[in-house]
Structure 1
Amino acid sequence: MQEFSKLDRRQFLGHSSAAGLSALYPGLLGKKNGKRPNILLIMSDEHNQRVAGCYGNTVVKTPNIDALAASGITFENHYCNSPLCVPSRSSFTAGKYASRVDVWDLSNELPRDDMPSIARSMNAAGYESFLCGKMHYEEGRRYGFTEVGGDFNRYPKDGLGKRMTPAELKDHTVLSQRFREFATRDDGSTVKHDLRVTAGAVDFLEHRKSDAPFFLLVGYLAPHFPLIVPEPFYAQYKDKVPAPHVPEGFVNTLPTNYKLERVGFHETDVPQETVKFGRELYYGLTSWMDNQVGQVLAALRKNPELAENTIIIYTSDHGENMGEHSLWWKNSMYDQAARVPLVVSWPQRWKGGQRRKLASGHVDLVKTIVDLGGGQSGADWNGDSMLPWLDNAKHTWKDQACSEYYAKLIAHGFAMIRTGKWKYVYHGRPAENMATERQLFDMQADPEELSNLAAEPRYAALIAELHTRLEHEVGGSIDETEQRARKQLATGYPGKVVTRGGGEDGA
């Protein structure tokens, strides 16, 4: 198969330092008036890429994100490092895949508070790195960021998590509390959290005086559940959001991991009226979040000189299943959960309205941000800088993204690789007496990922090649990584006692 020749991924794009890239591409850092650009990174939480106007959705209203796309570059196949808050954000912080820093679940933290991070790389390059909002850090840990706008990160971590077994597959008669919380009100916890984030970011931008360049990460919680939305934002979507397309009998074809998640998260047999209401609320909360983004951008543009010299990046930590494939929340490798929006805007350097269609990932975005600041990435970080690709749409790009999931309520950790038109997911063996489970999708012919091709003999060689590339990229055997994750989640962090909530994933 010619399109999957056994080329080492490093042949696609070398891991050059920022200095090396600058030598290859004069003016790469794009200084304006002798100043390096500020970088404003807005990271929402649980934003399904398909629920944005700039990604072709004609129902949802996201005018501020769409305006960024019109003035910038939109990445069509960009993936998170893990479809769960803590592994995704910790991996982003460290510049490495979650399995390389042993962050498996919400209960985990990075190995050391003083470890190299994106913020520390930017600080070393002469930037001041600030965090306003959620990054799901434990209290006392900021990894090189200075927090502004309030104390948003006080998450206790005990390192514990629970695996499930196929024997636990059974329907629950009681739905998750998350469904019972669906409502139209102004006082939802997500809304209250993000109003504070917006206020802090606006205050920072309106009162920024220092001549030093800044790297500001604005961490929103929306459109993450609870799906409690101010009425005006919900009303515009009532009876307008299409229902999920789940073919008859499709649930029976799901991998064991996803069947267990449906049971573990109490999301089996969700009433159709609840599905409809939840999807409408999600659209409303996405528009509400876009409005908050607009307020931050308006504050930046009050100072034209500051705005002209600020690169704006919008992305999310993972997506939301929204009832597609009979799944909710995140926790899967379907595009609804693993593929995320990414828009990069700086009209001073890049013409607006551009698209990039090849696959990329958050590990690449981390490298790109550090290179934008003229910083030095960690020698052992994953990913490749996308700067040459930003500058030139025809630049050779690896067209590859990987993501991992080793959290609770599954039988075996799983990992994904997307390259070209193919997406491959390895789930491992749910139990000793069960066979390995795999998924293979042709994303051109089957963008909804409803037809798993993995069992067809004609794809055996392709699957073997993709599996090799996946394990090479993440740095080891998925089965061995599963055993390490399983052991660590069972042991936790000795000596740390944390009062835990009702057992469901709250982030």
Structure 2
Amino acid sequence: MERPNIVVILSDEHTGSAAGWAGHPQIQTPQLDRLAAQSVSFDRAYTNSPMCVPSRLSLMTGRYVHQIGAWDNGVIPGPDFRSWGHHLHDYQTVIAGRTHFNGPDRLLGFDRRLTDDLDFWIDHSGRPPRRTAEWRRPTNSHVTEYGAGEHVHTRHDVEATDAALDFLRDPGEEPYLLYVGYMHPHFPLIAPPEFRDLYDPADVELPPAPSEDQHPVISLLRQGFRNDEPITEEQAREATTCYWALISHLDHQIGRLLAAVPDDTVVIYISDHGEMAGHHGIWQKQCFYEPAVHIPFLLRHPALHPARTTAPVSLIDVLPTLRAIAGLAPDPTLPGTNLLGPVPTDRPILSEYHAQGMINAGYMLKSGPWKYCYYGPTDPPQLFDLDADPLELHDLAGRRPDMVAGLDAALRAILDPDQTNDRAQAEQAARAN
């Protein structure tokens, strides 16, 4: 059987609702909208960790964060790390752009790189984050550094597209898996002027103000990332506008790339996690509210009819799907699902967080309309019914102990949350020495 070529496009911090095909009334994404019209759109797709390196290592291995010890952004993959490149060994596997791999090994099983991460995003120290109540990010520049202008992230993304296009002009005879990684729309929110000019801050509908009685874990998270420092309505509108502009620039680069990709090529578009953009008073991610964990997921395959589905999926499903596309037998050790086949509608989705801003681990289990967040034995859980409460304003944990008990049991069927927290903290402590 002839093996199709594959292009996987990964953006950084693109929340799943922030696109035209996803129903956003203002954000202009004509290229991704066109891809969505040719694809299966997984409208309930989630990250397995709302943080860059953990989510990406989970994606690349097809395994949960706790299975591979990818606790935080300082983790350096060890020699037993098995990426898509190791699995698809009959393909030429090629990287262009952002991967956020740490350490000296810049391939991690892939055959070659066309362009690399920006130097300042590569951690060679392996040191873990400081997870204490006193930790605070130096500034809140992730929201206050915004505006129209030139930025190295933009140049990185243009160069990644250029390099990928050079490869596609003469890819050779072997089938290929081309991974293209983009920085946008990751902060700082410095947008190319022509894309910033697409939007008017007056059109921004700001999210509700955060509750004065926030969950203690969320309150500490906001404090750690300086999201408790007030910003003006004008700042919030301009920051949001620039986030939209970065998405449109990303869309433009993807359009350039797809113009060179034949119609019979499999294309996957995903993001590593989302962006809170002021919801619940939070910018960045690092929590389990929908804007942080809900991601875009498009799969174009010649054998699949374009459709939209609410089947629950996550980043760990990408590797089983790639193996199926490549004609490989299922790997029973992988916890994910091959998305070329039927996806169980009742499967739970796990996301976890083990880094700065939370002293103990946080876990999300999404099952049907219900979202359960567990923060250890000393902090109360959260429970949301997303069908009735899509903005997650009403925590039902105290009113639905039956649902909490059932979802907690489902979480513990996947892992022991407290034991996993102890292991994460012990391994982080060892890396600090």
TM-score range (shorter-chain normalised) is over 0.9
1:349-407 Cα deviation digits (max 9, x unpaired): 2222x111121111122211211112245542221212212xxxxx6444431111001
Q: Is contact 1:321–1:330 with CA below 8 Å preserved after alignment? A: yes
CA RMSD of aligned residues (A): 2.0
> Displacement of 1:320 after TM fit?
0.2
CA distance in 2, matches of 1:421, 1:485: 29
Q: Is contact 1:358–1:420 with CA below 8 Å preserved after alignment? A: no
State yes or no: 1:491 paired with 2:430: yes
> Displacement of 1:418 after TM fit?
1.0
Q: Which residue of 1 aligns with 2:30?
A: 63
Instruction: Kindly name which structure, 1 or 2, has the bigger radius of gyration based on alpha carbons.
Output: 1
Q: Which residue of 2 aligns with 1:471?
A: 412
CA distance in 1, matches of 2:84, 2:376: 32
> Displacement of 1:144 after TM fit?
1.1
Which residue type is aligned with residue 370 of structure 2?
W
Within the candidate set 32, 54, 63, 1:87 is matched to 54
Which residue type is aligned with residue 183 of structure 1?
G
> Displacement of 1:156 after TM fit?
1.8
CA distance in 2, matches of 1:481, 1:114: 20
Q: Which residue of 2 aligns with 1:259?
A: 219
Within the candidate set 273, 282, 291, 1:318 is matched to 273
CA distance in 1, matches of 2:350, 2:259: 35
Kindly report which structure 2 residues correspond to 1:381-400, keeping only aligned pairs within 5 A, or say none: 381-389=334-342, 396-400=344-348
Which residue type is aligned with residue 277 of structure 2?
M
- Secondary structure (helix, strand or coil) at the match of 2:185 reads coil
> Displacement of 1:164 after TM fit?
2.0
- Secondary structure (helix, strand or coil) at the match of 2:130 reads coil
> Displacement of 1:94 after TM fit?
1.5
CA distance in 2, matches of 1:213, 1:288: 29
Q: Is contact 1:184–1:228 with CA below 8 Å preserved after alignment? A: yes
> Displacement of 1:121 after TM fit?
0.8
Which residue type is aligned with residue 199 of structure 1?
D
Which residue type is aligned with residue 292 of structure 1?
Q
1:296-333 Cα deviation digits (max 9, x unpaired): 00122xxxxxx133101101000000001100011111
Which residue type is aligned with residue 320 of structure 2?
K
Q: Is contact 1:197–1:218 with CA below 8 Å preserved after alignment? A: yes
Within the candidate set 297, 304, 309, 2:258 is matched to 297
- Secondary structure (helix, strand or coil) at the match of 1:273 reads helix
State yes or no: 1:152 paired with 2:114: no
CA distance in 2, matches of 1:340, 1:411: 25
CA distance in 1, matches of 2:211, 2:390: 16
Which residue type is aligned with residue 204 of structure 1?
F
State yes or no: 1:404 paired with 2:370: no
- Secondary structure (helix, strand or coil) at the match of 2:296 reads strand
Q: Which residue of 1 aligns with 2:310?
A: 357
Kindly report which structure 2 residues correspond to 1:343-354, keeping only aligned pairs within 5 A, or say none: 343-346=298-301, 348-352=302-306, 354=307
Q: Which residue of 1 aligns with 2:421?
A: 482
Q: Which residue of 2 aligns with 1:366?
A: 319
Q: Is contact 1:320–1:330 with CA below 8 Å preserved after alignment? A: yes
Q: Structure 1: 5+ residue runs without aligned partners?
A: 1-33, 301-306, 390-394, 430-434, 495-507
CA distance in 1, matches of 2:340, 2:375: 33
1:179-236 Cα deviation digits (max 9, x unpaired): 3421210x212112111111111111112122x2111111111000111001121122
1:400-436 Cα deviation digits (max 9, x unpaired): 311110011212110111111111111124xxxxx43
Q: Which residue of 2 aligns with 1:236?
A: 198
Q: Which residue of 2 aligns with 1:108?
A: 75
> Displacement of 1:465 after TM fit?
1.3
Residues 378/270 of structure 1: CA separation in 2 closer, same or farther (3 Å cut): farther
Within the candidate set 363, 386, 389, 1:443 is matched to 386
- Secondary structure (helix, strand or coil) at the match of 1:296 reads helix
- Secondary structure (helix, strand or coil) at the match of 1:441 reads strand
CA distance in 2, matches of 1:369, 1:240: 43
Which residue type is aligned with residue 488 of structure 1?
E
1:144-165 Cα deviation digits (max 9, x unpaired): 1123322327432423221123
Residues 409/396 of structure 1: CA separation in 2 closer, same or farther (3 Å cut): closer
Identity rate of aligned residues, in percent? Answer: 31
Q: Which residue of 2 aligns with 1:208?
A: 171
Q: Which residue of 1 aligns with 2:148?
A: 184
State yes or no: 1:287 paired with 2:281: no
- Secondary structure (helix, strand or coil) at the match of 1:428 reads coil
1:26-77 Cα deviation digits (max 9, x unpaired): xxxxxxxx52111111010000111101111121100111111111111110
Q: Is contact 2:96–2:164 with CA below 8 Å preserved after alignment? A: yes
The alignment's TM-score, normalised by the length of structure 1, stands at: 0.80
CA distance in 2, matches of 1:55, 1:454: 29
Q: Structure 2: 5+ residue runs without aligned partners?
A: none
Q: Which residue of 1 aligns with 2:263?
A: 308
State yes or no: 1:161 paired with 2:129: yes
- Secondary structure (helix, strand or coil) at the match of 1:437 reads coil
Q: Is contact 1:161–1:490 with CA below 8 Å preserved after alignment? A: no
Q: Is contact 1:251–1:326 with CA below 8 Å preserved after alignment? A: no
Residues 217/97 of structure 1: CA separation in 2 closer, same or farther (3 Å cut): same
**Aligned residues, how many?**
428
Which residue type is aligned with residue 189 of structure 1?
V
- Secondary structure (helix, strand or coil) at the match of 1:148 reads strand
- Secondary structure (helix, strand or coil) at the match of 1:216 reads strand
1:275-300 Cα deviation digits (max 9, x unpaired): 11100000000000000000000122
Q: Which residue of 2 aligns with 1:275?
A: 236
Q: Is contact 2:286–2:292 with CA below 8 Å preserved after alignment? A: yes
Within the candidate set 43, 46, 53, 1:76 is matched to 43
CA distance in 1, matches of 2:142, 2:352: 25
